[in-house]
Amino acid sequence: MIKKAIAVMTSGGDSPGMNAAARAVVRTALYEGIEVYGINNGYQGMVDDDIVQLTSRSVSDLIQRGGTFLGTARCMEFKTPEGRKKGFDNLVKRGIEGLVIIGGDGSLTGGSLLSKETGLPIVGLPGTIDNDVWGMDYTIGCDTAANTIVDAINKLRDTASAHRRIMLVEVMGRNSGWLAMMAGIAGGAEYVLVPEVKYDLDEMCHELKAMYDAGKRYSIIVVAEGAGSAVGLGKVVEEKTGIDTRVSVLGHIQRGGSPTVEDRMKASMLGEKAALAIISGATNIVFGFNEGKVVGVNLFDAVNNKKTLDPELVRLARVLA
């Protein structure tokens, strides 16, 4: 059981709700009489000893903000045992007895290595818009990002309809198609291309041409970046169909913005859970949501297993297209 202090950090790509989660960790620990330190700029800050003590006021005016007040950065040095030992020593000299990590697969993998090598208690929270952490159906920020994409689709539909165009929308998801699939279904896309599912470009173009010949005014195709470049696909679609085609690559706008109510609430609930768990002596666990309930997943299972895309989403996208 922790008696003095814990630390909290955000790592990897930022996601809306990270601030809400960190805020909950800090205020819960302080409520329990435990000191809290914030590690700035992820693992780089741990190695560089960029660590500051946090108060309740440190996390005020944050719950509505996207990004992460602690910052995040890549750190090649932490990928080495020597770098991890250096970071661990910086925690120990402050009396820090446990660490809460908010981040995605890569960040949690770094935490698992640190735990194995040093014995430092680690509790993880899944902070990633990709919703690709094994053992759970929700990660912090995925709801806000999906809503951002749907808002963009709504606007792009207006101009596509006005010009009778095909519109390809490229979204994030190098290895996971969850964002594309959810936003595509919710946005009424005709096609959703994801890295997990093979697609026939010739067949798709044939169907698009037939729909336009029958009077259709526009088509929306959502493309996860891991399924191919929307720019390249757009050129092929226009060439094969003869229909005016445009491409919109949404990029990092998907990471930003004020978190939705769902992301704020779930991040806050997970932050409290993580703080109480680490204080009680729990370690090597990642807390997330599954079917509406908080679940705890073994840290090593979470980083060593690959989450798959729900086939029901794939089926539904085809039915409703």
Q: CA–CA separation, 19 vs 12, rounded Å? A: 14
Q: Let me know if 310 is a catalytic residue.
A: no
The answer to whether 129 is a known ligand-binding residue is yes
Give the torsion through C-alpha atoms of 294, 21, 62, 91, to 10 deg.
160
Structure tokens at 305: 């297993």
Token match 């792009």: residue?
A: 156
The answer to whether 98 is a known ligand-binding residue is no
The answer to whether 35 is a known ligand-binding residue is no
The answer to whether 230 is a known ligand-binding residue is no
The answer to whether 74 is a known ligand-binding residue is yes
* One-letter identity of residue 4: K
Structure tokens at 92: 């120990």
Structure tokens at 263: 């992301």
The answer to whether 12 is a known ligand-binding residue is no
Q: CA–CA separation, 163 vs 23, rounded Å? A: 47
The answer to whether 173 is a known ligand-binding residue is yes
The answer to whether 189 is a known ligand-binding residue is yes
Please measure the distance between the N-terminal and C-terminal CA atoms of the chain and give it in whole angstroms.
Answer: 53
Strand spans (E) along 136-214: 166-171, 191-193
Please pick, among 48, 49, 50, 130, the residue that the annotation labels catalytic.
130
Token match 């930022």: residue?
A: 14
The answer to whether 89 is a known ligand-binding residue is no
Binding residues for ADP, as ranges, are 23-27, 157, 188-190, 216-218
| Residues annotated in a binding site for Mg(2+) | 105
Residues flagged as binding site for ATP: 13, 74-75, 104-107
Query: Which residues sit in the known binding site for substrate?
Result: 128-130, 165, 172-174, 225, 246, 252-255
Binding residue numbers = 13, 23-27, 74-75, 104-107, 128-130, 157, 165, 172-174, 188-190, 216-218, 225, 246, 252-255
Q: Tell me which residues are annotated as active site.
A: 130
